[in-house]
Amino acid sequence: MDSVYKGTLKQWHEDKGFGFIQPESGNRDIFIHISALKKMSRNPIIGDVIFYQIHTQNDGKNRAVNAKIEGITEVKQRAKRKSATTHKSKLLPFVLLIFAGLFVFNNLTKKNKLSETKIVSLTPTPKQQVNFRCDGRQHCSQMNSRAEAEFFTRNCPNTKMDGDHDGVPCESDSRF
């Protein structure tokens, strides 16, 4: 396990995110970058006591790693909270898009169903005069109106105008 050292923050450049620790042993100052303090709940202030480990870089210089500020609490879930927020913000547009698509689909489906629904009155209005009589006609092509086809379907035997037996004659006849 690497040794833990103690020192005092001697310099800190907030705008650049780095500074220098004066080691308790009196050795040369140690470079520290803000990333070494990523678990701290606040940025360092000159005079803070810092506990750290030393990492020797390829160029032979030492730098502080795994650093902690004495008396300052660590934030263990900081990255996870940020990550969860980021995922939520990325997911929101997709969820909204799905709901918008469902809304449009639902409305189009309702409009299509309404346009396909044929409202048929099987009883004549008071102004209509029913002057039809059963005369042996059986097919839609022999009828002159929907009212006539409805009369024949209800009152005359052997008609062949309601193929699906739903009470609405000549549904596929474009004349009516």
CATH code of the domain covering residue 27: 2.40.50.140
Residue 158 to residues 31, 99, 166, Cα–Cα distance (Å): 103, 52, 16
Residue 129 to residues 126, 132, 139, Cα–Cα distance (Å): 8, 9, 22
In a domain? residue 110: no
In a domain? residue 46: yes
Q: Give the integer Cα–Cα distance in Å for 64 and 54.
A: 5
In a domain? residue 43: yes
**pTM for the full model?**
0.43
Q: What is the span of the domain harbouring residue 28?
A: 5-69
In a domain? residue 174: no
Q: What is the pLDDT of residue 44?
A: 94
> Which positions ≥6 away from 87 have C-beta within 8 Å?
none
Q: What is the pLDDT of residue 32?
A: 96
Per-residue confidence in pLDDT tens, the chain, 176 aa: 579 999 999 999 999 999 999 999 888 999 999 999 988 889 899 999 999 999 999 998 999 999 999 998 888 754 455 555 566 677 888 888 898 888 888 887 766 655 554 555 555 555 555 688 898 899 998 998 888 888 888 889 889 888 888 888 888 888 87
> Which positions ≥6 away from 25 have C-beta within 8 Å?
5
Q: How many domains does the chain have?
A: 2
In a domain? residue 172: no
